[in-house]
Amino acid sequence: MASFEEAAKGVRTGKEVWIVTRTLVDEHTSLAEFLGADDYEIIEPEAEEPEEPAPTEEEPPKKKKFPAPVDHGKIVALYKANRTPVWIADDMGCSLQTVINHLKKEGIYRNET
């Protein structure tokens, strides 16, 4: 890091000098007088643009997936063959409540708690 005196000496001897500092606009005149040179360029910092979020593609609304239909007759037949609702649900790949609903619809469900 060089001092302003060293920078001014470099300008007077024809060397390229870069001074990077934060200054107010009204201070540029005094800086030029201090350097004693008319050949200078003030480079304004680029204004930082606020980052815009990357555009995202909106996902289409998800369609409600209904479970695959189950075989009502098979549920009733298994239940009448003394299979438990839990066993039937596991065997058929559906929920226990689905099995119970089918058995209630048939009027044969007995709460086995």
Report yes or no on whether pTM surpasses 0.75.
no
- Please state the domain extents for the chain: 4-35, 72-106
pLDDT one digit per residue (tens) for the chain, 113 residues: 567 777 778 778 888 777 666 655 455 555 556 555 555 665 666 777 777 777 677 777 777 777 778 999 999 999 999 999 999 999 999 999 999 999 999 999 988 65
Nearest to 4 by CA among 24, 26, 21: 21
Which pair of tokens denotes residue 17?
A: 């000098």
